[in-house]
Amino acid sequence: MTFGQAITHYRRERKMTQRELASKVLKEDGEPISPQYLNDIERDRRNTPSEHLIKQFATALKVAPEVLYVYAKKFPEEFARIVESADEKSVINACAAFRRELRNDAVAA
């Protein structure tokens, strides 16, 4: 699923129109995004939005931001800062633990 498809999925699951969702997603200047911009995102006609907008979508759709980061194929800046200060072995171990956790969840489902 692409980021746009995920946004469409969660929006429809919450029975929201594009206009309703667009009015709840605020740009950094505090203005809402336009319904046309949202339509372009949902149709994958736009690049993945900024971290700020990903968090805004997560809040408006009541979805964990981490889920939307996965669909956006982005790494939260917070994680990037942690990784930059970690040693190589810790990064490798963290990635292995991440894979293990996701595999365990997939098996349990």
Q: What is the pLDDT of residues 25-75, one digit of tens each?
A: 999 999 999 999 999 999 999 999 999 999 999 999 999 999 999 999 998
Domain extent for 93: 75-109
What residues does 26 pair with on adjacent strands?
Answer: 32
Q: How far apart are CA 56 and CA 52, in angstroms?
A: 6
Average pLDDT over residues 2-12: 98
Residues 40 and 88 in one domain: no
Kindly state whether residues 66 and 84 are assigned to the same domain.
no
Burial environment of residue 39 by CB neighbours within 10 A (0 to 12, 13 to 18, 19 or more): middle
Per DSSP, the three-state class of 26 is strand
Query: Residue 107 has what pLDDT?
Result: 66
Task: Please check whether residues 3 and 52 belong to one and the same domain.
Answer: yes
pTM, two decimal places: 0.83
Cα gap 59→2, rounded to integer Å: 19
pLDDT tens for 26-37 read: 999 999 999 999
- Is residue 70 domain-shared with residue 109, that is, in the same domain? no
Q: The CATH number of the domain where 26 resides is what?
A: 1.10.260.40
Domain count, the chain: 2
